[in-house]
Amino acid sequence: MTIKTCIFDAYGTLFDVSAAARQAATEPAFAQIADSWATLAQDWRQKQLQYTWLRAVTGAHGDFWQVTQDGLDWAMEAAGLQDQTELRQRLLDLYWELAAYPEVPAMLRALKDAGYETGILSNGSPKMLAGAVESANLGDTLDAVLSVETVGVFKPSARVYDLVGERFGTRKSEVLFVSSNGWDAGCAAGYGFVTAWVNRAGEPIDRLPWRPAHVLTDLQPIPEIAANA
């Protein structure tokens, strides 16, 4: 088996989704979340993902920016912050400027230098993804940025994973798919990709019929995994 293409989920994999709440918590105007930002960020992310799954199974698709706002509204109400309109706007603004994890630029550059095709496959809308890639200065290390908006359904629909073969012309077994979401890595393995789960938080593996081939704590080993798969 030879890997030709390395595909990455975006949010939580390449981009730190906790960065928005973490940054706001350091700003004097939003001192009310100085001690609770981590819970707010976790609830926001959890609801954001849950809403993608619910919309996918019910056929009620809405773009990722909508579910991002909906998830934040739920998290803020859970924290008793539903009337904090300035905080809400600041958090949403910061979501367009998420930092990449520290190892990401060098890892992507190593893949490109080794001759691999690289890309993002994300629930994010094209505009959101373009903003994130530009903010993190990753554009020159990515061959494609693929959004679920092309097919109008969120992951883990097979129609989303199909986008990789349609864009790159690779067989499933030639794709290394990398995600920080255990369910995404598992479902992509079931689809036929070679998968790596970036388990930064040390969570238990999801109980699904399929499991990722590799479990990592960060993205640094990806070039070596691609070379040896």
CA distances from 33 to 37, 81, 90, 199 (A): 5, 9, 12, 26
- What's the DSSP call for residue 5? E
Catalytic residue among 9, 43, 63, 184: 9
Helices (H), the chain: 19-25, 37-58, 64-78, 85-95, 104-113, 126-135, 158-168, 182-191, 222-228
b/e map 172-182, b = 16+ CB within 10 Å: eebbbbbbbbb
Cβ pair 216, 196 in contact under 8 A: yes
Asked about 9 being catalytic, the answer comes back as: yes
Q: Any idea which residues carry the catalytic annotation?
A: 9
